[in-house]
Amino acid sequence: MNASTVWLSCGVLRDELGELYRQGQISGELRFLDSMLHMDPLQLQTKLKESLGQPGPSGGRLILVYGDCCGRMLDLVREYRVGRVNAINCAQMLLGRTRYRELMKAESFILLPEWARRWKEIIQTELGLSADVAHDLMRENRSELVYLNTGLAPVPRLELAECAAYTGLPCRIEPVGLDQLLNFLVEAESAASIRSKGEVGP
């Protein structure tokens, strides 16, 4: 891992990246944006552009720790000549491709720790789903809630129970390590080009 790498990440992985950093598995600088930007892809794109336009690490790399969360994510990578983890979303980063596909085939609805804590904000406020509609929608499209327990925060049992009741889905907890996430990060850093000195944007 390169000391001059900047990791620009969705805040949903703040604890996990922080832990890998603390363990010395990654080095460099961690930068985070609000995870709730995920609910507004255009706003996320704007914020990413602002961040990518700031001076980056000279002689180093900038890696986006983002899934495909806005309409022009791949274009941003090309335009600003930065790296990006090769994952669809944050759940796939934690689970790896194989387990993610298995859970999707099983029609699981995945909750990361931060999403679980903020479920009301997402389901009620951002998506505008009443209990009746959430119940119908989730029961028709999903089979279960799966909370990914990275072990870095207490399991929010009350919130999970509330979310399960609101959506009508059973909820279970799946332990998940940080190995898959680290693999994605290492792969992205290896593939990313090194920025020339003073390079700040497109």
Tokens of 75: 């274009």
CB of 161 to another protein, least distance (A): 23
Q: Which of 24, 132, 154, 158 binds another protein (CB under 8 A)?
A: 132
Q: Does 154 bind another protein (CB under 8 A)?
A: no
The residue within the footprint of another protein, chosen from 29, 136, 144, 187 (CB under 8 A), is 136
Strand partners, 144: 108
161 contacts another protein (rule: CB under 8 A): no
Please name the amino acid found at residue 60.
G
Beta carbon of residue 73, minimum distance to another protein (angstroms, whole number): 6
- Cα separation of 48 and 19, whole Å? 23
72 binds another protein (CB under 8 A): yes
Comparison of 44 and 160: residue with beta carbon closer to another protein: 44
Compute how many other C-beta atoms are within 10 angstroms of the C-beta atom of residue 137.
15
Stretch (H or E) spanning 182:
helix 179-191
Q: Are 195 and 62 in contact (CB under 8 A)?
A: yes
Please select the residue that binds another protein; options are 133, 153, 165, 200, rule is CB under 8 A. 133
